[in-house]
Amino acid sequence: MSHEGPLQELPCLNEYLEGSMLSISQKSKRKKRERIGDGLDTENTPHELIHQWSPPHKQRVVCKGKENEENQFVLARRPRKRREFSGLSWDTLPDELLLGILSCLPLQDLLRMSRVCKRWHRLAFDESLWHSVDLVGNPQLDQALGQVLMAGVLRLRCPCTCIGEPHFTHTQHLRVQHMDLSSCTVSSPFLDDIISRCRRLENLSLEGLELSDWIIQSLSQNTELVRLNLCGCSGFSPDSLGEMLKSCSRLEELNLSWCDFSTDHVKAVVSNIPSNITQLNLSGYRQNLTMEDLKDLVERCPHLVNLDLSDSVLMTTSSFPILQRLQSLRHLALSRCYQIHPAALADFEKFPELQTLEVYGLVQDTYLPILSKSLPRLQINTRPFSGVARPTEATRRDRAMWGMTCRLVFRS
């Protein structure tokens, strides 16, 4: 067996064991060192540093017995290396400094750091680190979604995700303010469990989800809602929809296009929609949206800037004088409103503030240059998809959500 360091002598009970092989070996080595040391110059030897950095020698303890009074038995062992720390230790850093370091880590590394110790786990899930999370690319979210929401996240983006039971461990309200759950696969009870814990929502997208009256009633408790996207949703009654619109009086952008609505749903919207709405998408209601509904809508919401009434086949040229009352109207969509004759579109020259006009399906490609020449101020058919209340416009390829980015991003 090889020894890495010098051997240190340790006494044992046999002090004077005459003729032992180990004793003879030690004596011969000592004499050899004395002969060599006599011829060396020790003037430049750093004795003080050697004495300071070397491990201290234990004082020899001699044990005697009757049978070995004249002999000495010595054992030798390698000295134990002492662990010395230089500089600062992670344990001595204050929480504020560790939080600053953890704030520079991506999501996966932050989760790995949370497994180091109890203190790092507590710091890794501090609310200041979880203000915005993007989980796009994670196909299955169960307990992880509940943990993220309970960590105090303010902005959560996870569309097109399969969501199981979130498993909340407390009954406190969530801090989330901006949430995109568009096109997720989630059951109504699990979704209600999430929405019922929210009180501070400002921007919410539930596009394409199966809802319920309970979920709509839970939405009514978020009186700070500014943008709400319920495009393509179903499963709730006109009464619950009307009560929700009454409670969310600060709504500015609302997307209710292509929902499973009846005429009663449409009337509940135009009768209870907040008057300060500036952007509204009511496309896709064919025979359910009437001219009388349009009159009620314009009287109730005079500050509309962006209005989409596409696929409402009951809209005619008689709607033009009604729409002209909207003095702030800049973007109008009447695509596939087939009762409007293309020649009548020239009347939009009378709308002084109008900037864009979407009339897909009404104007053939050969007639579009002629219409554009007659309406030089307008941009015609430039927006095939509506961006009202949607978290990410169809033309954008970034990961922004209502113009806001998330700090923690899931990387598959």
| Segment 107-119, tens digit of pLDDT | 888 888 888 888 8
Tell the residue number behind the tokens 């989800």, with chain if given. Answer: 209
Contact 191, 198 (CB under 8 A): no
pLDDT tens for 225-270 read 999 999 999 999 999 999 999 999 999 999 999 999 999 999 999 9
DSSP line for 299-332:
HH-TT-SEEE-TT-TT--TTHHHHHTT-TT--EE
Three-state DSSP at 80 gives coil
Contact 348, 322 (CB under 8 A): no
Please state, in angstroms and rounded to a whole number, the distance separating the CA atoms of residues 17 and 8.
18
Q: What is the mean pLDDT of residues 132-154?
A: 84
Query: Does pLDDT of 322 surpass 70?
Result: yes
Nearest to 153 by CA among 121, 126, 192: 126
Q: What is the mean pLDDT of residues 314-340?
A: 96
Tokens of 250: 């600060």
Cα→Cα distances 272→182, 237, 368, Å? 25, 14, 38
Query: Does pLDDT of 126 surpass 90?
Result: no
Query: Does pLDDT of 222 surpass 60?
Result: yes
Please state, in angstroms and rounded to a whole number, the distance separating the CA atoms of residues 239 and 232.
18
Please state, in angstroms and rounded to a whole number, the distance separating the CA atoms of residues 160 and 163.
9
Please state, in angstroms and rounded to a whole number, the distance separating the CA atoms of residues 219 and 225.
9
Query: Does pLDDT of 295 surpass 70?
Result: yes
pLDDT grade, residue 93 (50/70/90)?
A: confident
* The pLDDT value given to residue 111: 82
* The pLDDT value given to residue 82: 62
Tokens of 129: 């680190």
What's the burial of 258, exposed, middle or buried (CB within 10 Å: 0-12/13-18/19+)? Answer: buried
- Number of H helices and E strands in the chain, helices first, is 13, 16
pTM comes to 0.75
Q: Tell me the residue length of the chain.
A: 412
Neighbours of 159 (CB within 10 A): 17
> Which residues fall within 8 angstroms of residue 295, CB to CB, at 6 or more apart?
322
